[in-house]
A and B are shown apart, each in its own frame.
Chain A
Amino acid sequence: MEIFGVPLPALMGQLMLGLVSGSFYAMLSLGLAVIFGMLNIINFAHGALYMAGAFLAWMGLTYWGISYWWSLLLVPLAVGLIGVVIERTMLQWLYKLDHLYGLLLTFGLALVIEGLFRYQYGVSGLPYAIPDELSGALNLGFMFLPKYRAWIIGVSLTVCLATWFIIEKTQLGAYLRAATENPQLTQAFGINVPLMVMLTYGFGVGLAGFAGVLAAPAFQVSPLMGSNLIIVVFAVVVIGGMGSILGSILTGLGLGVIEGLTKVFYAEASSTVVFIIMAIVLLLRPAGLFGKEK
């Protein structure tokens, strides 16, 4: 059976791979959406922190023998801690100013972080082996899916949905949303708003660190890995609607799949298709697919 001249198994294979890259888009744009939603900061350092996550995993394994599984737990905490330091020392002074200041600061930070890693390790990238438990491939009938790629899809979906659940359905999430809506009033109820904001930023960049650890075995660990991805991820956030949690998850996965399909039919356009969609969405729905008009 063929669809538009492409055999069905090949198409299914590409859809599967689209879901893998979509998982990364979803996880990263989710972090951005959470941060923008709560802090009103356009966090351009996100890609650099994702890269730092991958590097921390590599350093952990190489210098201290920390396994992949421990990295999956420890690295997001470490990156989250870096985030907390950034928030306390720099970002907290910018909340009252225009968005542009936060954007410029985080963009500058991204350049500094990337530059440091590039200086130390060069750009060719460092190898990070797939953990033994996840090496090998699954025979899905239409393709051999490496177990590691299947793992990426599973884990990132779980993490994304858990985040959505916490923010939209729990008491803690309700506090967070209230703190965004009206910080003064929330504070008056005895809730420590600055602490919540700090933890939110830590959590958002922790997600980026987590995605970095997930990416390390799949790609070469390289200082450029973040900047290659971050522009697309911002397009995802814009298409989904700035600050919309569920929107960024669904758009991330959806755009991954669309990109995958583009690679089947016209590979040359695969790096552009996301931006074409962004332009169309902005024309028709300026607030994004899931965003609310203000």
Chain B
Amino acid sequence: MKTKRIALAVAAALGFGSGMAQAQISDNVVRIGVLTDMSGAYSDLSGAGAVTAAKMAVEDFQAKEKPGFAIEIVSADHQNKGDISSNKAREWFDRDKVDVVTELVTTSTALAVMKVAKEKNKIALISGAASTRITNEDCNDVTVHWTYDTYSVANGTAKAVVKQGGKSWFFLTADYAFGHSLEKDASDVVVANGGKVLGSVRHPFPGTDFSSFLLKAQASGAQVIGLANAGTDTTNSIKQAAEFGITPKQSLAGLLMFITDIHSLGLKTTQTMYLTEGFYWDLNDETRAWSKRFFAHAKKMPTMVQAGEYSAIMHYLKGVKATGSDDTQKVMAWMKKTPVNDFFAKNAAIRQDGRLVHDMYLMQVKKPEESKYPWDYYHVRQTIPAAEAFQPLSASKCPLVKK
């Protein structure tokens, strides 16, 4: 009885103390917005799963850190459209007092929201979008690009495929900022490693029938057809390439693929393909433990986008607690100077350009007979160390980088 009373007194004192510190947290509530594709081509790799990851982050943070402030999550569907996402972000910042907007799959939505965040002096934590423009010509000091980018995935996969002898390439590219960026980054890697690019064709996003574009790729005679697209566009391309007898004569390189794509196509169609991921649920005990908890909610294993979403929000919340403030500049400064250490990233750091640099993994898809249990899809062929995985700062076009 006595211990309980003491415990209560301590808790009250702590509460009082943290209450003082929270004077700087506006209305004592931290509001996190998850703005993502809830219904379109990318909703399986981000979508509701990303909202689940965000909720897990908040629950874990509250259980472990016992913060003296409340945390709320709001989420919305940006339909992969830039105008919808910037309007929603504006509404959140102005009316709903949201402090940080997260996820933002689809490059066009991320670029749009970054500008609004800068204008309103709020934070944007990007997990799903891929273009390197986010940390280059369009970079700003309120944005962190968390999970991966076109450079890091192209770098891993294209290098591996060229080394295996795939020297001549033809690109099938989604016709918007992300696809262009992925094609450019992959082309650079191919050429730098002694390969050559024979051409490319750009298809409207999103598409269903890729046979015409695949026929062009076939006619090019390239050894490797690089798929500079994502989500259902990639899965349909792969399926139809098999139908038209393009594979296995020419091989496909999925430059941005997620575990949900492999799950959807099946190992028979995707076996032996190389791909680069920033996260795999079956890497080690820590990733397995987290992913199994995720699975219990979402009924599927997490993609790197969803794992990254958790990691980003957790780091942000720790920043708010440590600085006792939801002031954008203070929290950003803390986030940039404190390394990220969790199941997703080890000793990772946020650079001046807003890029979180962490290890990436080169995967090869298992053959059906090698897969021993559900979601057992990848061989980890190589861990690409953080220092090599991302575009070096020396090549950055971001004005924030002091050279």
Contacts and interface: CB of A to CB of B under 8 A. Distances in A.
Interface of A: 7, 10, 13-14, 17-18, 20-21, 118, 122-127, 130, 137, 143-144, 146, 148-149, 218-220, 222, 224-225, 228-229, 260, 263-264, 267-268, 270-272
Contact of B209 (A123, A219, A224): A219
B140 to A, nearest CB: 30
Interface string B8-50: 0000000000000000000000000000000111011100000
10 contacts: A13-B215, A17-B215, A20-B209, A137-B244, A144-B244, A220-B232, A220-B236, A228-B206, A263-B216, A270-B212
A118 B39 contact: yes
A254 to B, nearest CB: 16
A219 B243 CA distance: 10
A14 B204 contact: no
Contacts of B235: 124-125, 220
B399 interface: no
B269 interface: yes
Given A267-B201, A268-B204, A123 B215 contact: no
Contacts of A126: 264
B208 A219 contact: yes
B88 interface: no
Nearest to B244: A146
Contacts of B207: 228, 271
B211 interface: yes
A144 B208 CA distance: 20
Contact of A123 (B43, B204, B243): B43
B211 to A, nearest CB: 5
A143 B260 CA distance: 33
B109 to A, nearest CB: 17
A130 B215 contact: no
Nearest to A111: B39
A137 B263 contact: no
B78 to A, nearest CB: 15
Interface of B: 39-41, 43-45, 175, 201-204, 206-209, 211-213, 215-216, 219, 231-232, 235-236, 239-240, 243-245, 260-261, 263-266, 269, 300
B203 A224 contact: no
A144 B236 contact: no
Given A13-B215, A127-B269, A122 B43 contact: yes
A220 B39 contact: no
B204 A271 contact: yes
A17 B212 contact: yes
Given A123-B232, A124-B235, A264-B212, A224 B40 contact: yes
Given A123-B39, A124-B44, A127-B265, A14 B239 contact: no
A124 B260 contact: yes
Contacts of A228: 206-208
B37 to A, nearest CB: 9
Contact of A263 (B212, B232, B245, B269): B212
A7 to B, nearest CB: 8
Contacts of A148: 243
Contact of B261 (A124, A137, A218, A271): A124
Given A123-B44, A130-B243, A267-B203, A17 B232 contact: no
Given A124-B235, A146-B245, A267 B208 contact: no
Contacts of A130: 243
Contacts of B175: 267-268
Given A123-B44, A143-B215, A263-B212, A219 B236 contact: yes
Nearest to B243: A146
A155 B2 CA distance: 84
Contacts of A144: 244-245
Nearest to A217: B243
B204 to A, nearest CB: 4
Contact of A224 (B202, B232, B264, B266): B232
B41 to A, nearest CB: 6
Contact of B216 (A10, A224, A225): A10
A7 B243 CA distance: 23
A267 B44 contact: no
A260 to B, nearest CB: 6
Given A124-B231, A219-B239, A228-B206, A14 B212 contact: yes
B49 to A, nearest CB: 9
B379 to A, nearest CB: 22
Given A123-B39, A125-B264, A220-B264, 18 more contacts: A13-B215, A14-B212, A17-B212, A18-B212, A118-B39, A127-B264, A130-B243, A143-B215, A146-B244, A219-B208, A219-B239, A220-B236, A224-B40, A260-B212, A263-B216, A267-B202, A267-B216, A271-B207
A7 B39 CA distance: 41
Contacts of A124: 44-45, 231-232, 235, 260-261, 263-264
